[in-house]
Amino acid sequence: MTGYIQGRNVGLTFRPPNRAPVRALGGFDIEVEEGEFLSIVGPSGCGKSTFLSILLGLIHPDSGEVLMHGRRISGPGSDRAMVFQEFGLLPWRTVQHNIELGLELKKVPKEKRRAAAARLVSLVGLTGFEAHYPHELSGGMKQRVGLARALATDPEVLLMDEPFAALDAQTRDLMQVELLRIWREAKKTVLFVTHQIDEAIYLSDRVMVMSKRPGRAKRIFAIKLPRPREYEMRVTPEFNDLKLEIWNTLKDEIAA
C-alpha cells in the first residue's frame, strides 16, 4: 500500500539573481500517514517552511517529487490548506469575510458560505466577532481566523507554518489545547512546522527533526504518549526524556 503523502528525494536550490545559489532542501524521503499529526522541527533556515510551500504547491522542487494519493502535487488544490505564521488576513475584510475567502474563490454560493463560516466561527471560538476587522483582534484571535479560513474549504491536509510563533507564551499554550480539540473534531492530517520542541511533542504523533541547510529529514521520533493529552503531561518523565532526546538530535545542527 502506498503512503498517503510521499516525498521522494525532495530537493530544491534557490537561484536568486546576482547572488550565489542556495541549496535549501538536500533531497530526502518522507511519508505521512492519513490523519496523523506530524511536526517538523529544525534549525532556522533549514527549509522547513520551504518544504511546506512545496506541499502546498506554491513552489516546486527541482529534484524528486511529492505525491499525494499517488498523484504528483503540481499546484495548489482544495485538498490542502495553509495556516500562516503572520496570519495573512485581508485587513479590509471582516472576520466572516476572511473565513469565506476560500469558498468565494471556489464560487460557492453566498448562503452556503454564510453557513460554513458560521459553523467555523463557533468551532474556533470567535462567536460575536464576525463583523470585526483584523486590526481589532488580538494575535490569538487572528490565528483562530487563519485556522477557520484554512478549514473552510474542508481540506484533507492542514499545513501549519509556525502558526503560534507570533503569539505570547500563554496564548500559545491555550492555542495548542484548542488546536488539539479542533484536530480531533475536524479529523485532518496536520503538518506542523515549529521551533519549539515542547510544542512538537505535545501536539504530535511523530516529530521529524531536520538537519541544517541543505535540509534533510535527520530523524523521526514516534510520540507514543496517550491521547487525549492534558497540559499536565508536559511535566511527566516520559515527556522530558523525549524532549532531551530530540534536543540532543537537534543541537548538533544549530550553529549558535
Partner 1 sequence: MAEETTVRQSFAARYRNFLLGALAVVLFFAAWQAVFLWVPFNPLFITKPSLIAAGYVDLIESGELFHDLAVSSVPFFLGLGAAVIIGVPLGILMGWRPRVGYALDPLMTIFYASPLVALAPLLVIFFGVGVWGKSIIVFTLSVFPFIFNAYAGVHAVDRLLINVVRSLGGGEWALYRKVIFPSVLPYIVAASRVAVGRALIAVLVGEFFAASEGIGFAISRFGDIFAMDRMFGCILTVMVIAVILTEGIRWAERAAFPWRVGR
Q: Interface with partner 1 by CB under 8 A: which residues?
A: 56-58, 76-78, 81-82, 84, 86, 88, 90-92, 101-102, 104-106, 133-136, 149, 153
Shortest distance, position 250 Cβ to partner 1, whole Å: 27
Shortest distance, position 150 Cβ to partner 1, whole Å: 9
Place of cell 479590509: 92
- Beta carbon nearer to partner 1, 16 or 91: 91
Shortest distance, position 5 Cβ to partner 1, whole Å: 17
- Beta carbon nearer to partner 1, 105 or 244: 105
Measure the CA angle with vertex 217, ends 197 and 37; round to 5°: 55
- Beta carbon nearer to partner 1, 25 or 52: 52
- Beta carbon nearer to partner 1, 144 or 149: 149
The set of cell numbers assigned to 189 is 492530517
Shortest distance, position 120 Cβ to partner 1, whole Å: 14
Shortest distance, position 101 Cβ to partner 1, whole Å: 6
* Residues forming beta bridges with residue 68, ordered by sequence position: 5, 71
- Beta carbon nearer to partner 1, 78 or 127: 78
The set of cell numbers assigned to 229 is 493529552
CA distance 113 to 153: 10
DSSP assignments along 184-225, one per residue: HHHT-EEEEEES-HHHHHHH-SEEEEEPSSSB-EEEEEE---
Radius of gyration of the chain (CA): 18
Alpha helices for the chain (secondary structure H) = 48-56, 95-99, 101-105, 110-123, 139-152, 169-186, 197-203, 237-251
- Beta carbon nearer to partner 1, 107 or 224: 107
Shortest distance, position 44 Cβ to partner 1, whole Å: 19
First to last CA, the chain: 42
Tell me which residue of 35, 68, 62 sits closest to 50, measured CA to CA: 62
